[in-house]
Amino acid sequence: MFQRLDQVEGRLSELDQALMDPATTGNPSRLREISQERARLVPIIERFRELKQAEEDLAGARELLADPDMREMARAEVELLEQRVPELARALRLSLLPPDPYEGRDIILEIRAGTGGDEAALFAADLFRMYTRYAETRGWRVETLSTSEVTVGGASGRTAVGFREVIAQLHGDDAYGHLHWESGVHRVQRVPLTETQGRIHTSAATVAIMPVADEVEVDIADKDLRIDVYRSSGPGGQSVNTTDSAVRITHLPTGLVVTCQDEKSQHKNKAKALKVLAARLLERKQAEVDAAEAEERRAQIGSGDRSERIRTYNFPQNRLTDHRVGLTLYQLDRIMEGDLEPVVGALTAEFQARQLARMDEPQD
């Protein structure tokens, strides 16, 4: 660990020198990059100094235990510092973990109805509502990019709106860090709206979390795109349904297709579709890297593959189970209202524990 700290101090010195270089100050992009890296490294040094001070204070308090006049006060300080030092050491070790390359990004949230017909579409809508509520508690802004709705009639005459597909961008510096483990198959067990005999059905929806791509990460050439425009369908205002505002973009090299029809403006629909396409291309690029690093991939929490069942939502039992970390919570009603923090916290803690364990492994 101390060797890594020496490296941090050395890197911090390099960054300070770079910040004084006219070539850096004259390049806004480079200046922002260096400033962000420096902002990540400074707290590491501060935590290290705080830990060293606490260790020195603990040693001094233990020496005072031998003094009859100071023993009681020293004992209380020792008890406090013996709890504080391990906490600071763990915080320091966590700060030394390599940062995720997409940390601090906005994300593209993509939810699709899976097996289960109309009930799967209703569950997809419930998931979108859950993530939207959670985003509100975090202070993130949710921008809906594309929707494909379906109206479902219930056995009692009630109707509800579901999603065959819904795509949104979540704007927030910590959005990727909190939700990037949500990708996968989410299974629901409950009595559907259309059920007349009270039987529990099992349906599913797939969730994909994709970091918003920077221009330098994904190069989309105009010659690689086929762009079709057509008249929007489904709910919408008069101008939405009577003009050729909907856009379908096909990325010819990969065959990826993105459609967007929610906006009245063809230009806005095209911009949104290109944003989703860039995120999907970045996801594919990262998947290729992950496949090449399969051994390390297996040590992470799941693969992030949308074909992998990661979670079950059992409504009759008010139970949520995350199969990757063995987490079971009997507070599904609260979670569906956006109280996702217990789930996010458990996934983050498990991933950090595995990273720390790898950090302690002997280096070849």
Q: What's the CATH number where 324 sits?
A: 3.30.70.1660
Which residue segment(s) compose the domain that 345 sits in? 107-213+304-360
Average pLDDT over residues 171-190: 92
Point out the domain boundary residue: 34, 63, 95.
95
Point out the domain boundary residue: 65, 95, 125.
95
- pLDDT per residue as tens digits for the range 64-94: 998 888 889 999 999 999 999 999 988 888 8
- Domain count of the chain? 3
In contact, 206 and 114? CB cutoff 8 Å: yes
Residue 122 placed within a domain: yes
- The answer to whether residue 175 scores a pLDDT higher than 60 is yes
Residue 42 placed within a domain: yes
- The answer to whether residue 171 scores a pLDDT higher than 70 is yes
The domain spanning residue 89 has which CATH number? 1.20.58
Which residues, at least 6 apart from 43, have a Cβ–Cβ distance to it below 8 Å? 95
In contact, 297 and 290? CB cutoff 8 Å: yes
In contact, 204 and 230? CB cutoff 8 Å: no
Pair (139, 226) in one structural domain: no
- pLDDT per residue as tens digits for the range 270-284: 989 998 999 999 888
d(C-alpha 249, C-alpha 319), whole Å: 40
The domain spanning residue 282 has which CATH number? 3.30.160.20
Residue 100 placed within a domain: no
Pair (273, 199) in one structural domain: no
d(C-alpha 81, C-alpha 46), whole Å: 18
Tell me if residue 8 falls in helix, strand or coil.
Answer: helix
**Pairing of β 225-230 and β 107-113:** unpaired
- The answer to whether residue 333 scores a pLDDT higher than 60 is yes
Residue 249 placed within a domain: yes
Pair (81, 125) in one structural domain: no
Question: What pLDDT was estimated at residue 297?
Answer: 41
Between 235 and 253, the higher pLDDT residue: 253
d(C-alpha 213, C-alpha 66), whole Å: 61
Pair (209, 308) in one structural domain: yes
pTM of the full predicted structure?
0.73
Pair (168, 308) in one structural domain: yes
- The answer to whether residue 364 scores a pLDDT higher than 60 is no
Which residues, at least 6 apart from 35, have a Cβ–Cβ distance to it below 8 Å? 19
Pair (197, 119) in one structural domain: yes
Mean pLDDT of the chain: 84
Residue 101 placed within a domain: no
Pair (190, 44) in one structural domain: no
d(C-alpha 167, C-alpha 270), whole Å: 14
Question: What pLDDT was estimated at residue 298?
Answer: 46
Between 109 and 8, the higher pLDDT residue: 109
102-111, 220-229, 285-294: segment of lowest average pLDDT: 285-294
Pair (120, 248) in one structural domain: no
Question: What pLDDT was estimated at residue 289?
Answer: 67
In contact, 98 and 168? CB cutoff 8 Å: no
Spatial CA neighbour of 37 closest among 77, 67, 8: 8
In contact, 160 and 154? CB cutoff 8 Å: yes
Residue 102 placed within a domain: no
Pair (118, 187) in one structural domain: yes
Pair (113, 207) in one structural domain: yes
Pair (203, 229) in one structural domain: no
- The answer to whether residue 140 scores a pLDDT higher than 90 is yes
Residue 297 placed within a domain: no
* Cβ density class 187-224: b for 16+ within 10 Å, e for less: bbebbbbbeeeeeeeebbbbbbbbbbbeeeebebeeee
Question: What pLDDT was estimated at residue 56?
Answer: 92
28-37, 65-74, 118-127: segment of lowest average pLDDT: 28-37
The count of residues in the chain is 364
